[in-house]
Amino acid sequence: MKRIFLLALSVLLLSFSHSALADDFGKALQQLASKPVVRAHFQQSKTIANSNKPMLSKGTLLFVRSKGVLWQMSQPVKADLIVTPRKMVQKTAHTQSVVNLKQTPYGPAATVLLQLMSGNESALRAHFQVSQFQQNGNAWQASLLPKSASMKPLFSRIDITGGAYVNKIVLFDPAQRPTHIVFSGHSSGNNALSSGENALFQLAQ
């Protein structure tokens, strides 16, 4: 009986701990959600299987809560990636591909950053549990573990570093290979989009 009681108590404490972590993470998401438009630079380093040299890319990012996320890569090649809740569009100077996110199992994974920056806590909780959260002043760090069938084949863990903005995301695939995405030069004062930016978002509506 004592063993059963201790087991039940440990489960209860674990559940409480996860709930408290999720609540703290939810407050961080509210801070991110307070900015309807965010511009930043990004640099991505992706570890590839059977290669000692990571694949590097860089460019700019535009998040618009009412539209989606626009990645404009400048290196190693120029390309635009537009992600909205409905579609993902990749556009280069000579090609264009469109994916309906509701018709692919990778849809939830494609919109993780969009859900994060828009503060969509319910969508994130549907696919992840918060395993760790630490805060020091305005800065915070969170680790998310996948719990949905659609995320487990793609990620083993996602680490996020943030504050007023998302500063860094590290995506670990099931083989523990990391993809580092670092954001810098954030700004949120200019809400007006250029005609070119509006045209790109229109492609994914």
DSSP string for residues in 61-94: EEEETTTEEEEEEEESS-EEEEE-SSEEEEE-SS
Amino acid symbol at 182: V
pLDDT in tens, 150-200: 889 989 999 999 999 999 999 999 999 999 999 999 999 878 899 999 999
pLDDT at 35 over 50: yes
pLDDT at 3 over 80: no
Tokens, residue 136: 């020091």
**Three-class SS of residue 128?**
strand
Q: Which of 2-6, 18-22, 78-82, 161-165 has the lowest mean pLDDT?
A: 2-6
CB under 8 Å to 170, separation ≥6 — which residues? 158, 159, 160, 178, 179, 180, 181
How far apart are the C-alpha atoms of 138 and 136, rounded to whole Å?
6
Which architecture characterizes domain 2-203 according to CATH? Clam (2.50)
pLDDT at 12 over 50: no
How far apart are the C-alpha atoms of 76 and 183, rounded to whole Å?
17
How far apart are the C-alpha atoms of 107 and 187, rounded to whole Å?
28
Percent of the chain surpassing pLDDT 90: 43
pLDDT in tens, 23-34: 788 888 888 888
Fill in the DSSP letter of residue 145: E
Could you tell me the pTM of the whole model?
A: 0.84
Amino acid symbol at 40: A
Q: What local confidence, expressed as pLDDT, does residue 55 receive?
A: 86
Q: What angle do CA 63, 37, 78 make, to 5 degrees?
A: 35
pLDDT in tens, 101-148: 888 877 888 888 889 988 888 888 888 989 898 999 889 999 999 998
How far apart are the C-alpha atoms of 55 and 91, rounded to whole Å?
20
